[in-house]
Structure formats: C-alpha cells, structure tokens
Amino acid sequence: MPSDAAATSFEQASREPRWAWLYSQGLGVLCGQLTVLLLAVGSVVLAATRDGASAMIAMDDIRGFFAPPSAVHLWFYLLIPTLGLYALNTLLATWLNVARRWRAGIRAWHAYAAAVVHVGFLLGLLAHGVGGLWGGAHGQLVLGSAWQSLDDGRQARLVSLDAPRLPDGGLKQIWAEVEVRDAAGRQTTSTVSYNGPLSSGLGSHLLLLTRPVSLPVAHFERAGTRCQLEVDGHCELARVDVSLLYLHPPAAGGGGALARVRVEIPPSHGAEEGAEEGAGEGAEEFWLAERQATRLADGSNLLLERIERRPGILLQRRYAPGNPWALAASIVMIVGLALMWRRFLPAERRKTQATSTATNEVL
C-alpha cells in the first residue's frame, strides 16, 4: 500500500546518516554531468586560447593552468573540487556497497564487478594528478655507438639502425637496436621505434624516438693507439685521457672541421713514456683541425685522423610518473568490465544463459 511504502521510505530516510548525500547515486550523476559540462567549456577555452593564456599547457601537465592563474581557466579550477567530490562519492558508495554485499554473504565475483570498475576510475584520477603535477619533458638525448648515461642510472648505446621504406619511397618505420646495461653491468637489447620507446619503471621513464640523426665521430691517434669519439665522449690513448668537447661545424664532416679536445695526462706519465720526469702532467684544452697533429705537454703527438658521420637517434626524455597508475587503472577497469559481461547481453540471452547454467548445476 502507498501509505506503507511511504512509511517505510520515511523510516529508511530517518535511519540514513546526515552525510548520506555524500555517497548517493544522485550526487555521482550530478558530478558526472558537471564534469561533462566543465570539460566541454574547457575544450572551447583551450582551443581559443592555445596561443595565449593556455600556451603553457602541454601534454598532460596541469601545472600550466596555474602558470600564471588566469580567469579563462576557471573551468579547470572548478573541475578540481568537482572531481574531488566525485572521487569521494565513488569511494564511499563503493565501500558501503561492497561491505553490504559481503555481509549479506554474496561471494560471486561478478557481484563486485561495478566496484572493481569504480576502483579503476579512482586509480585513473590518481594517475592524472600524479602525472599532471610531476611529469614533464626533460630535454633530448642523442644516442650513438658510444655508451650514454640514462636518467634511470642505466647506460645505452645504438647497435644498429634500420629505416625500411614504402614502395613510394616514404619512411615506413625506424628500427633502432639499442644495447642497455644496468649498474651491475647486465646487458639487454631493446628495439626503439616510433611506437616503441625505451622505457623503465612501468613507463614512468621514457625515451621516445624523435628522429634519426647523423652523428660526427672523430678518430684520434697517439703513440700508435687509436680511438673514436662522439661529442662528450672520452677514451684513453696510451694512458692519456682524451675527451671530445665540441665539433665545429658540428653538422658538417670532412675538411675544415675543428674539434675542441681536452687531454689529461696523469702524474709520472712522462717517466713511463721515456720523457723528462713528470713532464706535461695535468689537463689542457685546445682546438684541433682534421688531419692535424698537436704536440702534447709530455712531448707526444695527438693526431685527429678524420671525422666521419655515423647513424644515431635523437630521443626525447620524458618523466611520466602517472603512467604506472594509469596502467593499473586500465587493468583494473578491464577486469571489472570483463566481470560484468553478463550485463552486456540482451535480456533474452541473459535468461537463456541463466537457464542453461541452472540446468548444468542440476545435472
């Protein structure tokens, strides 16, 4: 009877705590639609102010909305509390729903499917916060045949580069085989491509292929020993440490190129070489032209034999701490959706499914 129903409803309402609105479906729907509205406004604002107030907003960064704060980003400032309230509503509603079902003795996995999807959503929000506040691009790195230090403490070098072409001559893909070694000296091989970055920390540290480059390599000779150096590389030539600091012009090989070289001669080195005791010890920097030799302080000659160009790759360094959280959110959400597969079926098929399951159980 309606009066009974009204009385029950009143009774239920009076038993609800005062903060029941915080975990109500109505608040969730309201927050969802408010998010839709604010993001729709934001999409128009971002498009209109891309070169103005929104110029500092790139990738998934949210710090750009505050650098400096601007009235045009009011939609975003309102979005933060809206999503905060949405997250709180989802968390409380999910917790209470799971607790209620568990206490009622419900143990079927699919009964908790929606809760799993909700957890995925909360992890997704966390990912946006973490990535948006702490992520960012950290310059570029050129990888050639010499070992280069990476941000995560490992070292990498390019082993081979393949650039297959399409029938019309266009670039199909870049395949760069890269050797990576960790602090313990363990080596692994990875392939870097336009859709295959070098990554670590579940995608939080990324080196993304920007383009292939041509790297100048300088060939040095001293006292019958030889080494090849890329810019910023160093090698030892008969116990003398040689570093290549700069090449001018850096993009052009062949004649006329100049190399800025730093040489460190260890103490007592001269004695071993047969020169005057202690002669020439210390560091010196100088310019050296191609096919030109210079006399070092210890009396030996350092020759820049030639400069040649070798393939290399230009990589974009990116720190994306939100990626592992987003990955976790994706996995949890997919699991949740998979658990609720029955709900995707038409009602008539669901009935058939239930009947056949029941029949099987009876059999």
Partner 1 sequence: MPDSTVAPSAVSEFAQALPLYVALGCYAAALLATFAWSKIAVWLLRVGAVIHFTAMLYRGLAIGFFPLTNKVESFSTAALAIALVTAATWRDVRCYAGSLLALCVITLLVALQFPLGLSFPPPLMRTIWYPLHVPLSFTAYALWAAAAAAALVWLRERDPAWLLRVDRLALQGFGVWSVSMVCGGIWGVVAWGAYFMWDVKIIWSVILWFHYASFIHLRLTPSLSDKPWVRPLLALVGFVWVLVAYVGTSFFFGRSSHAF
Residues of the shown chain interacting with partner 1 in the complex, contacts defined by CB under 8 A: 24-26, 28-29, 31-33, 35-36, 39-40, 42-44, 46-47, 50, 54, 57-61, 121, 127-128, 131, 135, 137, 166-174, 193-197, 203, 206, 208, 316, 318, 320, 322-323, 326, 330, 333-334, 337, 340, 343-344, 346-347
Q: Smallest distance from the beta carbon of 296 to partner 1, in angstroms?
A: 45
Please, which residues bridge with residue 226 across strands? Answer: 221
CA 330 to mean position of chain CA atoms: 16
Q: Smallest distance from the beta carbon of 351 to partner 1, in angstroms?
A: 13
Cβ(160)–Cβ(144) below 8 Å: no
Q: Measured from the CB atom, is 96 or 171 closer to partner 1? A: 171
- 3-state DSSP assignment of residue 228: strand
Q: Smallest distance from the beta carbon of 85 to partner 1, in angstroms?
A: 13
Q: Smallest distance from the beta carbon of 345 to partner 1, in angstroms?
A: 8
- From first CA to last CA, the distance across the chain in angstroms is 42
Q: Measured from the CB atom, is 121 or 220 closer to partner 1? A: 121
Cβ(156)–Cβ(315) below 8 Å: no
Strands across the sheet with 148-149, in order? Answer: 148-149, 155-162, 175-181, 187-192
* Number of Cβ atoms within 10 Å of the Cβ of 89: 22
Q: Measured from the CB atom, is 33 or 357 closer to partner 1? A: 33
Q: Measured from the CB atom, is 166 or 363 closer to partner 1? A: 166
Q: Smallest distance from the beta carbon of 203 to partner 1, in angstroms?
A: 6
Q: Measured from the CB atom, is 64 or 266 closer to partner 1? A: 64
Can you tell me the distance from the alpha carbon of 48 to that of 67, in angstroms, rounded to the nearest whole number?
18
Beta strands in the chain (DSSP E): 136-143, 148-149, 155-162, 175-181, 187-192, 198-200, 205-222, 225-229, 234-237, 240-248, 258-265, 282-289, 292-295, 301-319
Q: Smallest distance from the beta carbon of 150 to partner 1, in angstroms?
A: 15
Q: Smallest distance from the beta carbon of 144 to partner 1, in angstroms?
A: 21
Counting Cβ atoms within 10 Å, is residue 149 exposed (0-12), middle (13-18) or buried (19+)? exposed
